[in-house]
Structure 1
Amino acid sequence: MTNISFSSVVQHLRQTAIVLASLLAIFTPARAAHAAEMVDVLVYGATPGGIAAAIAAAKGGSTVALIEPTPRIGGLVTSGLSHTDFRTFEGLNGTFLDFARRVEAHYVKENGADSAQVRESFRGTFGEPKVNLAIFEAMLVEQPKITVERGLRLASVKLDKSGDRARVESATFTKSVGTPGSTQQSEFQAKVFIDGTYEGDLMAMAGAPWRVGREGKAEYNESLAPDEADDQLQAYNFRWIMTRDPKNRVTPTAPAGYRREDFVEVLKVLETGSIKKIFAYPSGCIFKAQLPPLPNGKFDINDVSNGLIRLSLPGKNLAWPNGDAAARAAVFQEHVRDQVGLLYFLQNDPEVPAKFRDEAREWGWCRDEFEASGHMPPQLYVREARRLKGVHIYTQQDSAQAPGDARAVLHRQAIAMGDYGNNCHGTLHPGPRFGGKHTGEFYNAVPPYQVPYGVIVPAIVQNLLVPVAVSSSHVGFCALRLEPIWASLGQAAGYAAAHAVKNKIAVQEVPVPELQRQLHADQSATIYVSDVLPGHADFAAVQWWGSAGGLHGLQAPFAKPGQRGKNISGQYYEAYQGHAAELDKKLEPAQLERWLAIAKELRLPLDKLPAATASPTRGDFIRAAWK
């Protein structure tokens, strides 16, 4: 195993100091200023949701400033979360599907169509962080209307409160320059602002109402909620990228503040025999090495759901959502000390049984990843922080199965869809650090679900959209907090912003049917249809008809809600059953009658629709209605 050299350690310490200085720079008085820059749309936070928003806004004709507070764009998808959370390939669409296809094309070009790397990329959803970063960078370069700024942290927002709704006029950012402690201010004016951060920093500064913590069961009638409201928050952890390849392996070292006594209790758990390996999947281990693996011998390492020893640290992140840069830096360092400290203990402590210690030492950081941060991901996995309280608050009922139907409840104002389900890694860990069990943990299977426009729209700010820290309850948020869904919501936010700019209207006034047409034309889905996928000639027509309610009522409910197809690997499955359009299937009389009622409600010209005597297929009817 290769050891880190002394010079590398020094370099890592310097880089850590730079990161901490950058986090603290927001509180240092600025020493220089620039004149305000003007754009149509400003997106703060280059997460996948923020990137998708910027691209869509540019496609919609707007000039865009995409501002990222760190040096690295891409959020968690370029900072360790390479094992993308979705259930079925049929659920991928829009900007995220475009991204995944580009990742796969990269491996085809670099390694050949029949290479192991292409297979391991899992249709491009399992890219190495450095590859994911390169793809996002390329996607942004293709849009000349987008200017990307890195290392600018939001300092203040100027509001106009003279109307019925507040309006964001400008935002000021600080950037570290020159010697430590020196900062430079930049002011941006925009017609519409989009908050793409995981934390909702822009929306909070703009005065949009928000919430942190869990609602009580009675507030929204949610069975997964606790009995009483509290301030508990879903746990965070790092998503390490690790390897067993000696040629690319870097040995982890003890983190700053490491204390052996913090980890000796793990020995008692190892003695019970409940832990079979240090790295494994999906259980009986300490670190979950996600399967299938990533290309080139790399693994995305995550928290073990319902495990005895957890990577995630509930309760240690409460200062993060509304914390200043210093508070967040402290939370970040505590997670480094604990999580890397646990790994270091297991790899090096002489009291760790040899079979575990030797196995653990087979693993290390990847030499060719995260070079600027000592091969550790530069971002913490912020699963949940602030949540907007907007026009529509997404709750457990919004992704529940519709009565008498295989599908989830219908949202005619849908701008995105998801297929993962409500998922929480826990919000509290009573008792000792090692052993015991997280509480507040749940994994709720539901049919694929829709997400309405109101979840990204504040009620009281007329030119702000929030596609990541969305309006939802804690339980509802746990169905939306997946990067592909955030990317879809960002794509919708970008088009909505461009529409508001072009038509000089508030974001609350954007007509959702027109927004849906733009999204469908850009291959983004607003309802799950397993057999008419992006690129299909009828994709836009079927999405439109399905979002109007035409695909509900075609399949009776299964005994188990959200019945998936056969398992492919791990958390990935073949398409959800009962969610096909079956365009070649003949329309039954009762179904034709119901579809004609929908057409009448939509004020479509009924004389141009197929008559029952013509024995139309589903496809015949949908295509005629679409025209």
Structure 2
Amino acid sequence: MYNVIVYGATSAGVAAAVQAARLGRKVLLIANTYHIGGMTSSGLGATDINNRKGIGGISREFYRNVYKYYQDELSWSRQTPHEYDELLGTRFWLGRDEELGMRWMFEPKVASQIYVKMLKDAEVEVVLNERLALGSDDAVVKRGGRIVSIMMESGKKYEADLFIDSGYEGDLMAMAGISYTTGRESNSQYGELTNGILDNRPLEGGGVSPYVVKEDPESGLLPYVLSECPGPNGVSDSRVQAYCYRFTLSSDPENQLPIDKPENYDPKIHELLARRFEVNPKLTLDDILTLTPIPNRKTDTNHVDFVGANYDYADGDYATRERIEAQHRAFTLGTLWFLANDERIPVGVREDMRKWGLAADEFLGKDGFPEQIYIREGRRMVSDYVMTEMSVKKRTAPESVGLGTYYFDSHYVSHYAKDGQVHLEGTFWEDDELLYPISYQSIRPKREECSNLLLPVTLSSSHAAYGSIRMEPVYMVLGQSAAIAASLCLDLGVSVQDLPYEVLREKLLEAGQILDAGPLL
């Protein structure tokens, strides 16, 4: 019997487990794979942390540990700090803050080492590669509105007083009968401006044909291109923004694995990319891939987004998710091979791509490819307080448990055909400086649904607001706050809904959390 079970070894899960253990609780952290740390240790080393002063507690501690690691000259095995600084330039705010002693640009293996040490130092019990038995009635057992036990696919059962679902998928939340949504709400539901379907523009400014045979509608549409726009602007639908893998490339020939042609390579999947170059032959590799330098001649590689391939993921069973993950892996490796080898790609781009290989010293045992797919958005709880676009822009929400710090940002949701061209839909980007409170009421369920569960990742938020909230530093902040709330509920013998906020706020501040944006603006 545990005091607190944390399901999902994401960055939020690690922070929650470490904090609960430091408070003297008997804690179990359950990872649904062998991987610890979620996206933070799975390739997302170019951290979206535009206002580091708003990040406190264990989250700040993590980035300080990263800073300390790279202060050691031995950590720079393949380039000097000066060489790295020249490569990075001013991107990502120099990647560090000397005054705060924080660094947010790092190698995946370094994040893994830091997380494992934090868990070990806190004496957290960790179980690897265990998943909820989604098809079983005993997967989540509740009595009197409380979760009593959870059961894994292996048949193992675990009991606890309080539970924290810190997974990107929200499986414990769903199996516990908590209200949630997926996709995009209509603008009218919460009085928003950037929710719902959002028609953007033609791909590459126009001229990219959506048909298998150009200019021939009878030949059919290319894969993952919709026959029409999903609907009018601002209307709800069930689709979510594109997923990808954030993978690590190396420019060091002594630290490279080859990028081979995938066994299930399908050139039709990459036809849109070829046609983009036909329409705009001046495109460079940097126009296609975001190759952000991280230390030791490596990159955090972003924007190999597989638009339209993830719609069934959030509510899918494990087989469905594994199929989608395999498709994304093949798409990612296929894109890299395509860029390096297909004769329709300009020679200069092919030559630039061939300078890179998968980093041989990352994701050992996985052929240099990350474990965790980037679930930018999936299930989102619907609780008494929903974080909305207005919560973010007006910088107001009750009972703050941490600050959101990032811009409004959604990747493309769909490609569709219109007037013989491929059009884009679903993206938004607003670069206003944001720093705003996230409500405690948005990380706990409604009273009638469950009294001993907290959700720092799949929290109660609209699609629009989640586009800002969904960042790894913030997940860590919310994970720690959830653990402090859980421990206080045990101390006071109350439900997560009846925890007095004044008591919670005091303990959060003692733990170094930043709760008020005003002094930082």
What is the alpha-carbon distance in structure 2 between the residues aligned to residue 277 and residue 118 of structure 1? 22
Are the equivalent residues in 2 in contact too, given 1:456–1:467 (CA < 8 A)? yes
Give the secondary structure class of the aligned counterpart of 1:66: strand
Identity %: 32
What is the alpha-carbon distance in structure 2 between the residues aligned to residue 135 and residue 118 of structure 1? 21
Letter in structure 2 aligned against 1:220: Y
**Candidates 56, 60, 69, aligned match of 2:19:** 56
> Structure 1 169/265 Cα, relative in aligned 2: closer, same or farther at 3 Å?
closer
Are the equivalent residues in 2 in contact too, given 1:251–1:364 (CA < 8 A)? yes
Shift of 1:112: 7.6
Give the secondary structure class of the aligned counterpart of 1:188: strand
What is the alpha-carbon distance in structure 2 between the residues aligned to residue 274 and residue 529 of structure 1? 48
Are the equivalent residues in 2 in contact too, given 1:66–1:147 (CA < 8 A)? yes
Are the equivalent residues in 2 in contact too, given 1:94–1:522 (CA < 8 A)? yes
Shift of 1:229: 1.3
Shift of 1:111: 3.2
**Structure 2 counterparts to residues 381-396 of structure 1, below 5 A:** 381-396=374-389
**Structure 2 counterparts to residues 364-375 of structure 1, below 5 A:** 364-375=357-368
Shift of 1:44: 0.3
What is the alpha-carbon distance in structure 2 between the residues aligned to residue 76 and residue 116 of structure 1? 27
**Candidates 85, 93, 99, aligned match of 2:56:** 93
**Candidates 438, 448, 455, aligned match of 2:435:** 448
Letter in structure 2 aligned against 1:147: E
Tell me what 1:276 maps to. 283
**Candidates 102, 110, 115, aligned match of 1:131:** 110
**Candidates 127, 137, 142, aligned match of 1:149:** 127
Letter in structure 2 aligned against 1:468: V
Letter in structure 2 aligned against 1:395: T
> Structure 1 352/493 Cα, relative in aligned 2: closer, same or farther at 3 Å?
same
Tell me what 1:160 maps to. 142
> Structure 1 265/219 Cα, relative in aligned 2: closer, same or farther at 3 Å?
closer
Tell me what 2:488 maps to. 499
Indicate yes or no: 2:173 matched with 1:203. yes
Tell me what 1:525 maps to. 514
Indicate yes or no: 2:189 matched with 1:219. yes
Moved more, 512-521 or 456-465: 512-521
Letter in structure 2 aligned against 1:441: T
**Structure 2 counterparts to residues 423-438 of structure 1, below 5 A:** 423-431=409-417, 436-438=422-424
Number of equivalences: 460
Question: Could you state the TM-score of these two structures normalised by the residue count of structure 1?
Answer: 0.70
Q: CA RMSD in A?
A: 2.1
Tell me what 2:91 maps to. none
Letter in structure 1 aligned against 2:166: G
What is the alpha-carbon distance in structure 2 between the residues aligned to residue 435 and residue 441 of structure 1? 18
Unaligned 5+ segments in structure 1 are: 1-37, 175-183, 304-310, 402-407, 532-578, 580-627
Tell me what 2:230 maps to. none
Unaligned 5+ segments in structure 2 are: 89-94, 97-101, 197-233
Shift of 1:59: 2.2
> Structure 1 427/268 Cα, relative in aligned 2: closer, same or farther at 3 Å?
closer
> Structure 1 59/248 Cα, relative in aligned 2: closer, same or farther at 3 Å?
same
Are the equivalent residues in 2 in contact too, given 1:116–1:295 (CA < 8 A)? no
Shift of 1:349: 2.2
Q: Give per-residue Cα distances to partners, 1:53-103, cap 9 Å, x unaligned.
A: 111212222110000010010000111111111212222221111001111
Are the equivalent residues in 1 in contact too, given 2:281–2:346 (CA < 8 A)? no
**Structure 2 counterparts to residues 181-330 of structure 1, below 5 A:** 184-226=154-196, 227-273=234-280, 275-278=282-285, 280=286, 285-290=287-292, 293-303=293-303, 311-330=304-323
Letter in structure 1 aligned against 2:442: V
> Structure 1 530/361 Cα, relative in aligned 2: closer, same or farther at 3 Å?
farther
Are the equivalent residues in 1 in contact too, given 2:55–2:473 (CA < 8 A)? yes
What is the alpha-carbon distance in structure 1 between the residues aligned to residue 421 and residue 125 of structure 2? 49
**Structure 2 counterparts to residues 451-530 of structure 1, below 5 A:** 451-459=438-446, 460-528=449-517
What is the alpha-carbon distance in structure 1 between the residues aligned to residue 491 and residue 83 of structure 2? 44
Give the secondary structure class of the aligned counterpart of 1:247: helix
Indicate yes or no: 2:186 matched with 1:171. no
Tell me what 1:609 maps to. none
Tell me what 1:614 maps to. none
Indicate yes or no: 2:58 matched with 1:76. no
Give the secondary structure class of the aligned counterpart of 1:454: helix
Q: More relative contact order in 1 or in 2 (CA 8 Å, sep 6+)?
A: 2
What is the alpha-carbon distance in structure 1 between the residues aligned to residue 41 and residue 110 of structure 2? 8
Give the secondary structure class of the aligned counterpart of 1:328: helix
Give the secondary structure class of the aligned counterpart of 1:190: strand
Letter in structure 2 aligned against 1:301: T
Indicate yes or no: 2:99 matched with 1:111. no
What is the alpha-carbon distance in structure 2 between the residues aligned to residue 473 and residue 264 of structure 1? 34
> Structure 1 158/264 Cα, relative in aligned 2: closer, same or farther at 3 Å?
closer
Letter in structure 1 aligned against 2:405: D
Q: Give per-residue Cα distances to partners, 1:327-374, cap 9 Å, x unaligned.
A: 001101111222221211111223433212111111110010012211
